[in-house]
Chain A
Amino acid sequence: MTQPATPAKQEGPLLDGGGPRKSTSGDGAGPWSGRLFRPDVRTLSLIGVLVALALIGGVTKPDEFLATSNVQLILTQASVIGVVTVGMTFVITSGGIDLSVGAIVALASVWATTVATQEYGFAGILFTAVIVGVGCGLVNGLLIAYGGMVPFIATLAMLASARGLALQITEGKTQMVSIPSVLDLGERDAYLFGIPPLVLVFAAVTVIGWLVLNRTTFGRRTVAVGGNAEAARLAGIDVRRQRLYLYLLSGLCCGIAAFLLIVLAGSGQNTNGNLYELDAIAAAIIGGTLLSGGRGTITGSVLGVLIFTTITNIFALNNLESATQQIAKGAIIVAAVLVQRRTSHTP
């Protein structure tokens, strides 16, 4: 059926008076230019939610919530899922989906903590985690880009097999890490100016992710493939190769996240990363990345992750059940998407 018209019909003297859109700013090359520095309505509303949550936390548990150690805890917990979400944001922006992230994190974390791997020490663990992540991403990417499989199906299959393999490796046991240099990274002594190293990794991944999405040809191609794959192809972009790279990137992020998780937990487990796919997708979506592709924001995704982690923290501090917490998360997702539908309709 014929649906309401595209909103972008106005033109000429009626609208061209140069609204806030007219970006005459120096830096930045497009719709997201400078968004990190000059936030738009959507980003502001996410920050607003975060502030509101902090208020709730501060009021209900004034002493505990605002303690330095608790803030450090929130940020540390956000780091693992945050790194995964950065990769997921790229994939979703390109119009795809990666359901296998949680399973890849699990597989990478157990593979990197087997007795055999631990013999190679710190480097062995880090290297294995990253390689396993990238390897799984490669399989996803090949199936989707060159095998013509739908991302939903290909990554669902990866989810099942990676989890299965992780279980087979561990036989259900927790694999303790015995490398001191790895464990030390999670200790208070390793904090730089009070910032845990894991958080620094998260921050680095975020900044690099932001730069890649907004400032490089790679980011531009990602948006183009998600916005209009045929137009991208006709513009001379190798759409298939781009898709392959995107799933590799997501796998790489999972590998890094797996390493962070090993540091954090001091062990590898086949149940690691449970439901990360849902958390990462939800964080990206409430951040403002379009599930249908063509628009993505790293800033939004990171704020989304922080919102979810803060909620979890507040619930834990107040000894509330995790069931209630799930309901709250669901409500936030719905609310955020509704708010965005309103704000994004003003051209």
Chain B
Amino acid sequence: MAPEPPPLLTMDGITKSFPGVRALDGVDLEVRAGEVHCLLGQNGAGKSTLIKVLAGAHQPDGGAITWRGEHVTLKSPIAAMRLGIATIYQELDLVEGLSVAENVYLGHEPTTAGFVVRGRDARTAAAALLRRLGHTEIDPARLVGELSAAQQQIVSMARALSHDVRLIVMDEPSAALDPDEVANLFRIVADLTAEGVAVVYISHRLEEIRRIGDRVTVLKDGRAVASGLPAESTPTREVVALMTGRDVEYVFPERPAQLPLAEPLLTVRGLTRRGEFAPVDLEVRPGEIVGLAGLVGSGRSEILETVYGARKAEAGQVLVDGRPLKPGSVRAAVRAGLGLAPEERKAQALLMLESITRNVSVSSMSRFSHGGWLDRGAEFKAARRATRELSLKPDLPSAPVRTLSGGNQQKAVLARWLLRGCRVLLLDEPTRGVDVGARAELYAVIRRLADDGLGVLLVSSEVPEVLGLADRVLVLREGHVVHTAPARELDEHRVLDLVMEGSPAS
């Protein structure tokens, strides 16, 4: 190591425990100026915890942090920011009631006399940052609560760039982004590293690591099992084996030889919501997985939510087993056997303070009740079976969902519908934030559910996922279905062409 410059950051033997969980068990991390250092690991491996220690948001129980050759303690987020460490957190951390510019400069507003906010300066500066990020369409004066998830991600990024940074930590920044957005993100990362800024990059999409990563550190169960591997030359299989401790075949489950010919379970006819999507027709048969491919904002999630009754259709019908559902009624949809795993699990699906068990059983409560009394033993057992099937970690049914890692929260939502045993499963981005190992399991579970006679309607930004898992694919662009075909007749390029064609540059 003698001829090399000292690393920008060294974290040495960092430990951190939460009640009942040892999240970090002596992790080392070394980051050099100007590199993209990728942090890999399964859900719950401790990646987010580690970067929260680095951001001053968690206090470590033990270990040492060296920044530019000096020993430092990061007592608060402010302390880390002062050193030039900015963080884009996995769970969006914006204030919805404040404008874009106000969020970008929250905590370090440009001021006169130290307390009067120079609003116009903040807006101009925020607009410049957004331009640098290639998003001039986001108005700095707009409320963040009115933006889409992808746009909010951009605002988080602008916020990180608003500091004078030497190190930017990005915790799964690409999870909510479209392919062209991801390309945009990579361009920004390249600009930053060219200026000598270091980037710590977390993602479950291994192909991204190879595209932008310089070196890789792999975490497993709160320990670094490999550090400083070269990102380009280390085979994916090896990385996955390090992460999971076994060989995972990253393949999709077999499709049944021929599509079932039964009557459709779910029929959607002329479903419309103006400004969101044009009239949509689709059918899902028992045993069939139908995929909706399209960009963020192409109306995919809106279609799912409307089918589910969470949004009220302006026109059109949803039929289950040929019987029409009452429009705009989630109750009716659930009674008829529809289940939705929504995109934004934190806001839309989870009771964050409640235990895993209760989150899983909430839609099946009647099954465990006798005259209104809950049989908690049965509830516990059933919920645990469902979570074990998805290998949700930690295996502590009483742990509050809030304390789960991002990918495991997703599994809790899926476990709910697994337990409920619905007939048509609507899955919105089911693998967002889910690690490779669990992904393969999830795919297998979804296919098995279909083989048992369920219908599945699947939305995903990851084209290979739709193509690999679905039997039939509908391609959406700006609220219109532009193409329908069996998945085996499509390939990734074709779908991307269809999805992007004529779409605005943003």
- Asked if A323 CB lies within 8 Å of chain B CBs, one says no
Q: Is the CB of B77 within 8 A of A2?
A: no
Q: Which residues of A contact B106 (CB under 8 A)?
A: 220, 224, 231-232, 235, 237
- Asked if B214 CB lies within 8 Å of chain A CBs, one says no
Give the shortest distance, in Å, between B211 (CB) and chain A (any CB): 26
Q: Complex Cα distance A12/B151, Å?
A: 10
Which stretch (A13-21, A114-122, A183-191) binds chain B?
Answer: A13-21
Q: Which residues of A contact B385 (CB under 8 A)?
A: none
Q: Which residues of B contact A29 (CB under 8 A)?
A: 99, 101-102, 117-120, 122-123
Q: Tally A-B pairs: CB < 8 A.
A: 168
Output the nearest chain B residue to A14 by Cβ-Cβ distance: B275
**How many residues of chain B are within 8 Å of chain A by beta carbon?**
66
Q: For chain B residues 241-269, which have a beta carbon within 8 Å of chain A?
A: none
Q: For chain B residues 146-163, which have a beta carbon within 8 Å of chain A?
A: 146-148, 150-151, 159
Out of A5, A220, A232, which one reaches B311, CB within 8 Å?
A5
Give the shortest distance, in Å, between B276 (CB) and chain A (any CB): 7
Q: Is the CB of A2 within 8 A of B148?
A: no
Output the nearest chain A residue to B156 by Cβ-Cβ distance: A231
- Asked if A40 CB lies within 8 Å of chain B CBs, one says no
Main DSSP-derived SS at the B contact region? loop
Out of B55, B77, B297, B305, which one reaches A12, CB within 8 Å?
B297
Output the nearest chain B residue to A231 by Cβ-Cβ distance: B93
Q: For chain A residues 2-49, which have a beta carbon within 8 Å of chain B?
A: 2-6, 8-16, 18, 21-24, 26-31, 33
- Asked if B315 CB lies within 8 Å of chain A CBs, one says no
Q: Which residues of A contact B296 (CB under 8 A)?
A: 11
Q: Is the CB of A11 within 8 A of B102?
A: no
The winner among A14, A24, A217, A232 for most chain B CB atoms within 10 A is A217
Q: Is the CB of A10 within 8 A of B148?
A: yes
Q: Which residues of B contact A215 (CB under 8 A)?
A: 116-117, 119
Q: Which residues of A contact B94 (CB under 8 A)?
A: 228, 231
Q: Complex Cα distance A261/B302, Å?
A: 55
Q: Complex Cα distance A10/B147, Å?
A: 8
Q: Complex Cα distance A28/B115, Å?
A: 15
- Asked if A331 CB lies within 8 Å of chain B CBs, one says no
Proximity bits, B104-145, A CB within 8 Å = 1, else 0: 001111010011111110110000000000000101011101
Q: Complex Cα distance A220/B342, Å?
A: 32
Q: A13-B478, A29-B119 are in contact. Are A217 and B109 (CB under 8 A)?
A: yes
Q: Is the CB of B87 within 8 A of A234?
A: yes
Q: Is the CB of A31 within 8 A of B139?
A: no
Q: Is the CB of B148 within 8 A of A8?
A: yes
Q: A29-B122, A234-B93 are in contact. Are A21 and B142 (CB under 8 A)?
A: yes
Q: Is the CB of A8 within 8 A of B147?
A: yes
- Asked if A180 CB lies within 8 Å of chain B CBs, one says no
Q: Complex Cα distance A18/B138, Å?
A: 11
Give the shortest distance, in Å, between A78 (CB) and chain B (any CB): 27
Q: A13-B504, A16-B137 are in contact. Are A3 and B98 (CB under 8 A)?
A: no
Q: For chain A residues 241-276, which have a beta carbon within 8 Å of chain B?
A: none
Q: A2-B330, A11-B297 are in contact. Are A31 and B308 (CB under 8 A)?
A: no
Give the shortest distance, in Å, between A236 (CB) and chain B (any CB): 4
- Asked if A294 CB lies within 8 Å of chain B CBs, one says yes
Q: Is the CB of A230 within 8 A of B93?
A: yes
The winner among A6, A8, A16, A234 for most chain B CB atoms within 10 A is A234
- Asked if B347 CB lies within 8 Å of chain A CBs, one says yes
Output the nearest chain A residue to B148 by Cβ-Cβ distance: A11
Q: Which residues of B contact A327 (CB under 8 A)?
A: none
Out of B95, B141, B148, which one reaches A22, CB within 8 Å?
B141
Q: Which residues of A contact B142 (CB under 8 A)?
A: 21-22
Proximity bits, B310-338, A CB within 8 Å = 1, else 0: 11000000000000000000100000000
Give the shortest distance, in Å, between A92 (CB) and chain B (any CB): 13
Q: Is the CB of A2 within 8 A of B98?
A: no
Output the nearest chain A residue to B109 by Cβ-Cβ distance: A217
Q: Which residues of A contact B308 (CB under 8 A)?
A: 2
In the assembled complex, 18 residue pairs joining A and B whose CB atoms fall closer than 8 Å, in A order, are A1-B330, A5-B301, A5-B302, A5-B311, A6-B344, A8-B147, A11-B150, A14-B479, A18-B139, A23-B141, A27-B119, A29-B118, A216-B115, A220-B98, A220-B102, A220-B109, A221-B107, A224-B95
Per CB-CB distance, the 3 closest pairs between chain A and chain B, nearest first, are A29-B119, A235-B107, A227-B95
Query: Which residues of B are at the interface with A, using a C-beta cutoff of 8 A?
Result: 55, 57, 76-78, 81, 87, 89, 93-99, 101-102, 106-109, 111, 114-120, 122-123, 137, 139, 141-143, 145-148, 150-151, 159, 275-276, 296-297, 301-302, 305, 308, 310-311, 330, 340, 342, 344, 347-349, 362-363, 478-479, 504, 506
Query: Which residues of A are at the interface with B, using a C-beta cutoff of 8 A?
Result: 1-6, 8-16, 18, 21-24, 26-31, 33, 215-221, 223-224, 226-228, 230-238, 290, 294-295, 347
Known: A12-B504, A22-B141, A30-B98. 18 other contacts (CB 8 A): A3-B310, A4-B305, A10-B275, A11-B150, A12-B297, A14-B276, A21-B142, A23-B141, A26-B120, A28-B119, A29-B120, A215-B117, A217-B114, A217-B115, A220-B98, A224-B107, A236-B81, A347-B146
